[in-house]
Amino acid sequence: MENNLTASSGIRIGVLISGSGTNMDAIIAACETSRINGRVVFAGSDNPDATGLEKAASKKISTFVVDYADIIRDFPSAIDGPWNDPDPTARLKDRLPLDFDLEAIRGQQRFFPPDADRGKVNRFLCTRAAAEAALLNEMAAHPFDLLVLAGFMRNLTPYFIDRVNTEPGRPRIMNIHPALLPAFPGVDGYGDTFRYGCRIGGCTVHYIDYGEDSGPIIGQRAFPITDDDTIDTVRKKGLALEWELYPECIQLFAQGRLHVIKMTHTLDSGAIYQRNIVKIARIQ
């Protein structure tokens, strides 16, 4: 997958969706009005019924589907042995990509704690690798500079991430999350925010890493939550901000202004804490 950022044509943006693709709509509109110096080159989905694919096709954008549910459903529950084998991939070689290393991926991932059920972890990583290999194969036909997740409801494993982020220190997978991270990671950020009784809600754009919604934060927007709000009004407020924030963050990437650096902090206890953060360079 090439990297070809040019001032004339702008960046090439790939989009992954699972549903209606409202954030994709905002990104396409921002490209059309030059608020993003770039263009959307494909829209892919894990869901054959994603209505956003029709919207993309109407804009003459290439679309494809990798049906995760079908791949996972068709995957063997076990072949000649249980999933808690040290390496079940030996009996699944015809179902997994040749370059898949279960032990390495299991050590990299941060979705599951170290004491998680080994069989559950193995099955998750193997089924996702099978789906992700198909996804990468579809994406290979559409060279891109930045991949954005716009309501893509699947966790990406290190297998996929490392095959998109091929240049150390230069991540190129963005996600938008419906909460002010690091609070409320997971699938229902606005609902979690509302149910917790927060007085402020918001959304976050971040780079993807090996954990769940744990990557370096690029941008955030916040809104007040009043006594009159419901879960529906909270989501409505959040979506309105998402459609503003995501294009802004993508344009920062297009301008080459996003730099990931490692920060080291010494805590009062003497412990050393390190974290990757995003620095936004000023326009020269």
Active site residues: 177
Provide DSSP, 194-246. Answer: HHHT-SEEEEEEEE--SSSS-SPEEEEEEEE--TT--HHHHHHHHHHHHHHHH
Q: What is the spatial distance between Cα 16 and Cα 23, in angstroms, rounded to a whole number?
A: 10
C-alpha angle 180-183-188 in degrees, rounded to nearest 5: 80
Q: Which amino acid is at 69?
A: A
Contacts of 21 (CB under 8 A, 6+ apart): 15, 43, 50, 51, 52, 53, 55, 56, 150, 151
- The CA–CA distances, whole Å, from 263 to 107, 207, 273 equal 23, 16, 8
Pairing of strands 38-45, 62-65: parallel
Residues 198 and 223: beta-carbon distance below 8 Å: no
